[in-house]
Amino acid sequence: MFNIILFGPPGSGKGTQSERLVLKYGLKHLSTGDILRSEIAGQTPLGSEAKKFMDKGQLVPDEIVIGMISSALNNNTQATGFLFDGFPRTEAQAEALDKLLKLKQTEIGAVLALLVSEEELVQRLLNRGLTSGRSDDNNVEVIRARIIEYHQKTSAVADYYRKFNKVFNIPGEGSVDEIFEGLCAKMDEKMQSQ
Ligand code: B4P
């Protein structure tokens, strides 16, 4: 089983590249952002709680997202590997994920970190906001708040996995194809050395 985390700030291409990586490597895609948006669309109690945070550009509380990932792992016992997209986003989430994977006698094989400048992130998210209908994409202040949350809480996740030599930086600017090639080169190298 080979599990990866696709890591990076909001708008760095995690969702875009995840779609391609899961097709190529047969991984099960787990995106906490997608799960939260489907809870909001289904008007569930979890969704209405999460929306309060997402609309302000804040992270949803750890206990909510850790519970979601725990259920998703239990519901996908046949998976041959997971791609975690947008999770973990805090050190507490990273520690919880490691414990959940250990119970399943597996671990994170690599953290692929997409590097993108802040101005490019803001531009991409504003562009997506023109068509996505996402309330967290169409307001520059909310976008900046998401980037601040990333620096204050999420960048520590990379430091956590760096202690285990699992973080690999991948250039995240350029065409979607070029970035995908960079990701695949590192994936292939890590899978072969496993
Ligand atoms: P997410 O759904 O994870 O969304 P994201 O970080 O905004 O986007 P992503 O990085 O996947 O987007 P992509 O670059 O592909 O999170 C949304 C919110 O949910 C969070 O703010 C938080 O509130 C909550 N949440 C989710 N997980 C959580 C957790 N674990 N804990 C707490 N809260 C959590 O796409 C961006 C745009 O760039 C697209 O329009 C795309 O087409 C474009 N793009 C992609 N690659 C490009 C390229 N190479 N060149 C130009 N444009 C590109």
pLDDT tens for the chain, 194 residues: list them: 999 999 999 999 999 999 999 999 999 999 999 999 999 999 999 999 999 999 999 999 999 999 999 999 999 999 999 999 999 999 999 999 999 999 999 999 999 999 999 999 999 999 999 998 888 998 999 999 999 999 999 999 999 999 999 999 999 999 999 999 999 999 999 999 88
Cα distances (Å, whole numbers) of residue 120 to 34, 123, 124, 148? 22, 5, 6, 15
Determine the distance separating the centroid of ligand 1 and the alpha carbon of 85, expressed in angstroms.
9
Q: For position 135, what pLDDT does the model report?
A: 86
Ligand 1 binding site (Cβ under 6 Å of any ligand atom):
10-16, 32-33, 36, 53-54, 59-60, 65, 86-87, 89, 93, 124-125, 127-128, 136, 146, 176, 179
Instruction: Please tell me the distance from the alpha carbon of residue 146 to that of residue 167, in angstroms, as a whole number.
Output: 22
Best probe residue, ligand 1, of 30, 59, 152 (max atoms within 8 Å of C-beta): 59
Return the pLDDT at 62. Answer: 97
pLDDT attached to residue 46: 95
pTM of the model: 0.94
pLDDT at res. 133? 87
DSSP code of residue 175: -
pLDDT score, position 168: 98
Query: Can you give the pLDDT at residue 193?
Result: 87
Identify the CA nearest to 110 among candidates 169, 190, 183.
190
CA 84–ligand 1 middle distance (angstroms): 13
Minimal-distance CA residue to ligand 1 atom 22: 59
Sheet holding 28-31, edge to edge: 28-31, 82-85, 3-7, 108-115, 167-171
34 C-alpha to ligand 1 centroid (Å): 10
